[in-house]
């Protein structure tokens, strides 16, 4: 087990006000994510997974409690500083891909580097190399509507790697894919974790994906009710 934390969530509550009713999606969540590990957060619909993902990924701040990203308390940062930190440290992969329809695969992967002030030649070179790595060197100029679901998810993974983040946060990454394509995408995450030493955090309801992770946190009603560790069973 890796022993250096990269994300620490301490006593986090997230409460939403719906009219006169307060609803707490997270209820004192405690979670430490270690550098270089593959962690799965597993839970059914309504367990608080999406809220946990937003908190883990610094897309949202807690109502109460602390979130440390590489030792920095994100609740004390301005939105612009938070966006910069998030852009450098975390790459996001979403179930619905979230690609920009009007941009080519290459342009979608180049985009995150614009916000980190990377020069145009470096953006082009890195985006091309990343798409080649995920097997899409022949699809650089294709737009999302010209790509299959699996190809779109590969573009999304390449985009997540654009700024060479330490953490890859995947939200139901196989949810819109057939089983064969889903296996191929999961093997990509395994490679990023094992060969590139990326910290991979996967949020899912799919019990079958647990075999890819070293540690699984079971979420229910906004709290972690069980944590298991396992030897990964990865088969091509």
How confident is residue 233, by pLDDT bands cut at 50, 70 and 90? Answer: low
State the chain's maximal CA–CA distance in angstroms: 54
Answer whether 47's CB lies under 8 Å from 11's CB.
no
CA nearest to 111, candidates 145, 148, 144, 77: 144
Residue 13 inside a domain? The answer is no
Residue 223 inside a domain? The answer is yes
Q: Which is it for the CA torsion 86, 68, 206, 196, positive or negative?
A: positive
CA distance 122 to 204: 34
Residue 92 inside a domain? The answer is yes
| Spatial strand order in the sheet of 5-18 | 21-34, 5-18, 64-69, 72-73
Residue 103 inside a domain? The answer is yes
How confident is residue 159, by pLDDT bands cut at 50, 70 and 90? Answer: very high
pLDDT value of residue 95: 87
Number of Cβ atoms within 10 Å of the Cβ of 47:
22
Find the mean pLDDT for residues 46-60.
90
Answer whether 123's CB lies under 8 Å from 110's CB.
yes
Residue 8 inside a domain? The answer is no
pLDDT value of residue 232: 67
Residue 157 inside a domain? The answer is yes
Residue 25 inside a domain? The answer is no
Q: 209: domain range? A: 36-58+79-229
Q: What is the pTM (predicted TM-score) of this model?
A: 0.92
Mean predicted lDDT score pLDDT of the chain = 92
CATH number of the domain encompassing residue 190:
3.40.50.300
Tally of domains within the chain:
1
Residue 44 inside a domain? The answer is yes
């Amino acid at each position: 087990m890796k022993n250096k934390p990269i994300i620490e969530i301490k006593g986090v509550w997230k409460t939403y006000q719906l009219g006169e009713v307060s609803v707490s999606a997270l209820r004192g969540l405690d979670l430490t994510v270690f550098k270089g590990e593959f962690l799965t957060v597993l839970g059914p619909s309504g367990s608080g997974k999406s809220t946990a993902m937003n908190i883990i990924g610094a897309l949202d701040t807690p109502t109460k409690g602390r979130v440390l990203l590489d030792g920095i308390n994100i609740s004390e940062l301005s939105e612009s500083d938070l966006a910069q930190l998030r852009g450098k440290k975390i790459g996001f992969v979403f179930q619905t891909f979230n690609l920009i329809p009007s941009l080519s695969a290459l342009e979608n992967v180049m985009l995150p580097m614009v916000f980190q002030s990377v020069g145009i030649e470096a953006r082009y070179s890195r985006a091309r190399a990343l798409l080649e790595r995920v097997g899409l060197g022949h699809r650089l100029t294709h737009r999302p509507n010209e790509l299959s679901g699996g190809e779109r998810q590969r573009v999304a993974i390449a985009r997540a790697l654009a700024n060479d983040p330490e953490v890859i946060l995947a939200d139901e990454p196989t949810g819109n894919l057939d089983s064969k394509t889903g296996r191929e995408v999961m093997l990509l995450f395994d490679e990023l974790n094992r060969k590139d030493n990326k910290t991979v955090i996967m949020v899912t309801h799919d019990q079958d994906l647990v075999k890819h992770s070293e540690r699984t946190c079971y979420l229910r009603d906004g709290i972690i009710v069980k944590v298991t560790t396992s030897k990964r069973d990865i088969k091509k």
